[in-house]
Amino acid sequence: MRPLRSLARGLHALTRRRDADQDISDEVRHYLDLTAAAHERCGLSPEAARRAAQLELGNTTVVEERVRSFGWENVVETLFADLRYGLRWLRSNPGFTAVSAITLALGIGATTAIFSAVNPILFEPLPYPHPERIVGIRYAFNEAGAGEQSFGTFREVAVRSHSFDAIAVMKAWQPTMTGPTEPERFDGQRVSAEYFRVLGVHPGIGREFDPADDRPNGANVVIISDGLWRRRLHGDSGIVGHQIRLDDALYTVLGVMPAGFNSVVAPTAEVWSLLQYDPSLPADGREWGHHLQMFARLRAGVSIEQASHDLDAIAHTPVPEFRRPPYASMQHGLPMTSLQRQITSGVRPALLGVLGAVFLVLIIAAVNVTNLLLARGAQRRGEFAMRVALGAGRTRLTRQLLTESVLLAVIGGVLGVAVAAVGVRALIALSPSDLPRLDAIGVHGTVFVFALVATTLIGLAVGVVPALQASRHDLQATLQHSSRRSSRQGTRRVLVIAEVSLALVLLAGAGLLLRSLERLFSIAPGFKSSQLLVMQVQATGRRLDDAGTNRFFADALDAVRRVPGVESAAFTSELPLSGEGQTERYAVRFENDATPADAPPAWRYGVSPGYIETMGIPLIQGRTFDRGDLTQVASRPVLISESLAKRKFPGQNALGQRLRMGGAADRPWDVIVGVVGDVRQLSLATPQAEAVYATTAQWMWADRAQWLIVRAHGSPASLTAAVRNAVWSVDKDEPVVHAMPMDAMVALSEAQRRFVLIVFEAFAIVALALAATGIYGVMSGSVTERIREIGVRSALGATRGSILGLIVRQGMTLTIIGAIVGLFGAAAASRALITLLYGITHLDVVTYVGVTGVLLAVSAAACWLPAWRAARVDPAITLRAE
Amino acid sequence: MDQPNTDVIPGTLDMLILKTLSLQPMHGFGIARRVEQISRGVFKVNPGSLLVALTRLERSGWLDAEWRQTENSRRAKFYSLTRAGWKQLEIETAEWSRRTLAVSRLLKAEG
């Protein structure tokens, strides 16, 4: 009843203010009249009675105001008045409004865009039920390094562990769908049967995998994504139980995943089929290759620590039922982390760095606008004084100014969300392709809340200093004319110093990243990337047998070599820096090993003869492959990398030594026939280069996806179409993907660093521009306020040069203080970037000197204009103005 | 009116208004007059405070306000107690008696 009544009365007063006011003044007048009448009855004359009544009541207007000011509607009304006034003021200062709003829009927009990208990756839980229970389990090769699992280890863990509701392994799979329409290659995964139970998502239509099918020659079954189902199969729910053609084999569709389902471990995957590895674990199959990702869902109530103990116990107590080859002995354990951590750990430093950078930009933007507001405040002194004289209290004035700044921030915020929407698209376009959870990035929900909160806080933050200053100083406004200047200018100077120092922190970050990238790209990758064209060719279906696959690649190679402009060409199962590393590593055993060590595995390159030459990898010792190495032999010739040779055979001849890579314990040893230079496989920054090369033709199985590398006489890109057609002239149904010059592939391998660098550079430029504007603004203000002094100086004979120097010196003093503070800040803040740096420390002197130089140059330019104006002051005019 | 007027004891204005209106609906001046009369001129109500208090009590739902014609046909705002107002009056009266009793006990206490 009461709140309702209050609401109704308030609304009435708001909507019909005039009536409400009339009522109040009627009531007061009536009271006055009755008081006067009473006095008259006591014998006073009408005039005296009136006077006495008025005396008793006090000022009628004040009483009316007191009555009127009761009620919530007054707060709303003042707010509206403040808003109206604020809007009018902003409209009458279009230049100021535009500059401030755009500055804030850039700050809020950039922050919102970055937040929208970082939030789903780092902070939001994964989009599955109880995501905290999903963990990734890796195989530790030694104390420092961990990586992919073998199927054999998975089998043992799956049977022996008691901590998991479900556990699965998976690998990438890229089947091609053939059928009535043109062939399309999909990203997919080969998974073990419990895959979807680990994620906790079930097919929307149909059913999950049956563990009974997960064996060699089991039924060909597939589960497809909602997107694929709608795109290629017309969203026909009758598809379940029917067959589709993948890689020339028929697969029965078991189910369709619900719309919106996305596998964070393989975001682009649209088809899932079973691994169908051999549970009897033959020693010479892929079952023991470290190439599978393993993850699991913890049992409810089991913590990661408990599950880790369980896994440790399994790893350190082998049982006879589970034979372990030396390269899968688990002696270093099975490290486990939450899946969220595992998939984001690679990008976490980069994203946190970018997030930090954008907050700096936001702060600089806010400081800049604060400065603008302060400058405006100086010009509005007269207005404030007038308002105080008319009875505005200090809080009232503060509120008015805060309303204005929040209003400004809201305009900036609205523009900022638009900036963010564009920015997010740019970010996604720029972002390295391995960024997880790209699909979840966008401007919605949480992001809007973030933008709203940021806007409000910024509005209050930028307004509070100017508002307090204005309301404080206006009390003494008319009294002290000159002392006011120093304090107001003082605040502005401190703010400019802050801006300069923050800008330097960003500049230093950008500089460090730039130098790192320069260093990285100056690293010799171990091969000659110029004039190389690469593309991935896949042998699908039809020739499922190994001989057919090898024949296809051999024929394709012959066809490619005949293309005019091709100098040489070769195939390899693994392309350095292609981002597909980590999948094919095998433990290497040497004949001279005293004990079968659990050594870190080496890369396996299945290559065609001519690969070493075409890539331009230097031959250190021995020979490379030739056509004679295309036939199956018992004891295979292999090449090893220089680093492997140096580690295993220091000071000895590696040639003729024998080794075994994977495979059965009783298969013949392979013979080292050559030593070749080290190649960077994972990234330019990772020197891990132990490798073994064998020809694909002599390997235990045929690699179905291989990289074609072509050395061109001229520009490699121009050969793309011709080379692709040559491959298709052999078989037009085989997909050819990822065609690009090797130089582009190398650049792509550093996409993450490059991404952070671009973001930092953009932010540093914005920060520098804002800081320069800040310096310019303060120096302009200072010149205006000192115009009389400057006039006197030049009247007393100061030269233009000396006045110019005076002002520039003043500005540069601010800059230098800011730069010193900034250098300390940068030294501390750049710690966050350490993992992204390469070849330099985060305290790289060259970078710091360089960016300080840039900053000083830009701020000198910013000081120049006001200084120039000061130098041209005509003493006669300024002195006469007094 | 020989004794000097004093303002009402702080915090009691609401109670005095409610009590006065419990006799009959009245306009602002009437209330002020009645308080003065009943207190025999001890208390004098400040018109500004009274009018603000009336607005507040009305908002709180303890009073109803109505514009009526007076006997000399002028528009005047008459206030009357609502049911909640009656209840409030009881509460405030009880509270007041409790406090005055306590105060008088304290004053009578002997060292």
Is the predicted pLDDT of residue A543 greater than 50, yes or no?
no
Confirm or reject contact between A29 and chain B (CB < 8 A).
no
Contact A58 B47 (CB under 8 A): yes
pLDDT tens digit string along B90-102? 999 999 999 999 9
- State how far residue A486 is from chain B, nearest Cα, in angstroms: 45
In angstroms, rounded to a whole number, what is the distance separating the alpha carbons of residues A182 and A178?
7
Alpha helices in A522-653 (DSSP H): 546-561, 611-615, 642-648
Confidence band, pLDDT 50/70/90 cuts, at residue A58: confident
- Tell me the ipTM for this assembly: 0.86
pLDDT at A434: 64
Mean pLDDT on A275-284: 79
Is the predicted pLDDT of residue A701 greater than 80, yes or no?
no
Residues in contact with A616: Cβ distance below 8 Å, sequence separation at least 6, in sequence order: A527, A528, A532, A711
Mean pLDDT on A702-716: 88
In angstroms, rounded to a whole number, what is the distance separating the alpha carbons of residues A791 and A794?
5
Confidence band, pLDDT 50/70/90 cuts, at residue A127: confident
Q: Which residue of B has its CA nearest to A53?
A: B47
Quote the percentage of chain A above a pLDDT of 90.
27
Q: Which residue of A has its CA nearest to B52?
A: A67
pLDDT at A598: 57
Confidence band, pLDDT 50/70/90 cuts, at residue A12: confident
pLDDT at A306: 93
Is the predicted pLDDT of residue A425 greater than 50, yes or no?
yes
Which A residues 428-467 touch B at CB under 8 Å? none
Size of interface A-B (CB pairs under 8 A): 63
Confirm or reject contact between A817 and chain B (CB < 8 A).
no
- State how far residue B98 is from chain A, nearest Cα, in angstroms: 27
CA atoms within 13 A on the CB side of B24: 3
In angstroms, rounded to a whole number, what is the distance separating the alpha carbons of residues A210 and A572?
35
**CB-based contact A837:A520 (threshold 8 Å):** no
Confirm or reject contact between A2 and chain B (CB < 8 A).
yes
- State how far residue A79 is from chain B, nearest Cα, in angstroms: 21
Nearest beta carbon to residue B52 from set A9, A26, A66: A66
**CB-based contact A446:A396 (threshold 8 Å):** no
Averaged pLDDT score across all residues of chain A: 85
Q: Which residue of A has its CA nearest to B53?
A: A67
Nearest beta carbon to residue A6 from set B33, B59, B76: B59
Mean pLDDT on A586-606: 75
Q: Lowest mean pLDDT of A53-67, A171-185, A313-327, name the range.
A: A171-185
Is the predicted pLDDT of residue A475 greater than 60, yes or no?
no
Q: How many domains is chain B built from?
A: 1
Contact A66 B48 (CB under 8 A): yes
Quote the percentage of chain A above a pLDDT of 70.
93
Contacting residues of B for A66, CB less than 8 Å apart: 48, 51-52
Confirm or reject contact between B27 and chain A (CB < 8 A).
yes
Neighbours of A653 (CB within 10 A): 12
Q: Lowest mean pLDDT of A9-18, A531-540, A673-682, B44-53, name the range.
A: A9-18
Domain span at residue B61 reads 6-108
Contact A71 B55 (CB under 8 A): yes
pLDDT at A674: 94
Confidence band, pLDDT 50/70/90 cuts, at residue A137: very high
Confirm or reject contact between A789 and chain B (CB < 8 A).
no
Q: Lowest mean pLDDT of A391-395, A605-609, A756-760, name the range.
A: A391-395
Is the predicted pLDDT of residue A643 greater than 70, yes or no?
yes
Task: Determine the distance from the C-alpha atom of residue B104 to the mean position of all C-alpha atoms in its chain, rounded to a whole number.
Answer: 23
Nearest beta carbon to residue A67 from set B27, B32, B51: B51
Nearest beta carbon to residue B28 from set A31, A66, A70: A31
Burial class (CB in 10 A: 0-12, 13-18, 19+), A109: buried
pLDDT at A455: 87
The first and second tokens of residue A494, run together, are 């401190």
pLDDT at A855: 93
Contact B77 A30 (CB under 8 A): yes
Unique residue bearing structure tokens 């009369």: B37
In angstroms, rounded to a whole number, what is the distance separating the alpha carbons of residues A168 and A342?
16
Is the predicted pLDDT of residue A508 greater than 80, yes or no?
yes
Q: Which residue of A has its CA nearest to B46?
A: A57
- State how far residue B75 is from chain A, nearest Cα, in angstroms: 8
Confirm or reject contact between A80 and chain B (CB < 8 A).
no
Contact A27 B51 (CB under 8 A): yes
Mean pLDDT on A23-31: 86
Is the predicted pLDDT of residue A594 greater than 90, yes or no?
no
pLDDT at B1: 40
Is the predicted pLDDT of residue A514 greater than 70, yes or no?
yes
Phi/psi for A869 (5° steps) reads: -65, -40
Mean pLDDT on A41-48: 86
The CATH number assigned to the domain holding B49 equals: 1.10.10.10
In angstroms, rounded to a whole number, what is the distance separating the alpha carbons of residues A847 and A519?
13
Report yes or no on B1 lying in a domain: no
Amino acid at A60: T
Confidence band, pLDDT 50/70/90 cuts, at residue A601: confident
Greater confidence, A398 or A665? A398
Report yes or no on B22 lying in a domain: yes
Is the predicted pLDDT of residue A50 greater than 90, yes or no?
no
Nearest beta carbon to residue B29 from set A34, A67, A70: A34
Mean pLDDT on A87-106: 88
Is the predicted pLDDT of residue A603 greater than 80, yes or no?
yes
Neighbours of A655 (CB within 10 A): 16
Confidence band, pLDDT 50/70/90 cuts, at residue A294: very high
Chosen from B31, B59, B70 to mutate, greatest number of chain A CBs within 10 A: B59
Confidence band, pLDDT 50/70/90 cuts, at residue A755: confident
Q: Are strands A602-607 and A691-695 parallel, antiparallel or unpaired?
A: parallel
Amino acid at A768: L
Q: Lowest mean pLDDT of A351-355, A443-447, A531-535, name the range.
A: A443-447
- State how far residue B5 is from chain A, nearest Cα, in angstroms: 12
Is the predicted pLDDT of residue A63 greater than 60, yes or no?
yes
pLDDT at A201: 92
SS3 content of chain A, % helix, strand, coil (to 5): 55, 15, 30
pLDDT at A700: 78
- State how far residue A41 is from chain B, nearest Cα, in angstroms: 14
Contact A58 B48 (CB under 8 A): yes
Which of A166, A219, A174 has its CA nearest to residue A196?
Answer: A166
Confirm or reject contact between A30 and chain B (CB < 8 A).
yes
Burial class (CB in 10 A: 0-12, 13-18, 19+), B24: exposed
Mean pLDDT on A328-335: 85
Neighbours of A881 (CB within 10 A): 9
Q: Lowest mean pLDDT of A261-270, A565-574, A632-641, A648-657, name the range.
A: A261-270
The first and second tokens of residue A37, run together, are 């009448």
pLDDT at A398: 85
Which B residues 28-87 touch A at CB under 8 Å? 28-29, 32-33, 47-48, 51-52, 55-56, 58-61, 67, 74-77, 84
**CB-based contact A673:A608 (threshold 8 Å):** no
Mean pLDDT on A848-872: 91
Q: Lowest mean pLDDT of A110-114, A213-217, A279-283, name the range.
A: A279-283
Contacting residues of A for B27, CB less than 8 Å apart: 27, 30-31
Phi/psi for A707 (5° steps) reads: -95, 125
Contact A66 B76 (CB under 8 A): no
Contacting residues of B for A1, CB less than 8 Å apart: 61, 84
Contact A31 B59 (CB under 8 A): no
Report yes or no on B73 lying in a domain: yes
Contact A35 B84 (CB under 8 A): no
Q: Lowest mean pLDDT of A378-387, A541-550, A689-698, name the range.
A: A541-550
Confidence band, pLDDT 50/70/90 cuts, at residue A484: very low
The first and second tokens of residue A479, run together, are 């009294």
- The SS3 assignment for A274 reads strand
Neighbours of A108 (CB within 10 A): 29
Mean pLDDT on B28-50: 85
**CB-based contact A662:A291 (threshold 8 Å):** no
Is the predicted pLDDT of residue A102 greater than 70, yes or no?
yes
Contact A63 B51 (CB under 8 A): yes
Is the predicted pLDDT of residue A180 greater than 70, yes or no?
no
